[in-house]
């Protein structure tokens, strides 16, 4: 999967609710319910349920550091 394909897919889900599973290593995960807010050249922003904004890079998806379920 390339960065451009990831951007296209995320652009189709702009404003949608998603579940992000973030791999912390050693079988530890954090799970976020978030809304996709903005896309930039190298990162995208999501708004969490508690109104905080969190950013992730497209390479996080490529390296499987995060997994997104729509």
Residue for token pair 């708004």: 47
Nearest Cα neighbor of 6 from 61, 63, 66, 53 is 61
Domain range annotation of the chain = 3-69
Q: Name which CATH class applies to 3-69.
A: mainly beta
By CB atoms closer than 10 A (0-12, 13-18, 19+), residue 42 is: exposed
Beta bridge partners of 38: 45
Q: What is the pLDDT of residues 28-66, one digit of tens each?
A: 999 999 999 999 999 999 999 999 999 999 999 999 999
Beta bridge partners of 28: 25
Q: What is the pLDDT of residues 10-28, one digit of tens each?
A: 999 999 999 999 999 999 9
- pTM here is 0.91
SS3 of 55, please?
strand
């Amino acid at each position: 999967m390339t960065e451009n394909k990831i951007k296209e897919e995320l652009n189709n889900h702009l404003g949608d609710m998603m579940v992000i599973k973030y791999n912390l290593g050693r079988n530890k995960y954090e799970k976020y319910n978030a809304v996709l807010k903005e896309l930039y050249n190298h990162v995208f922003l999501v708004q969490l349920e508690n109104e905080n904004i969190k950013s992730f890079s497209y390479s996080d998806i490529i390296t499987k550091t995060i997994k997104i379920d729509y």
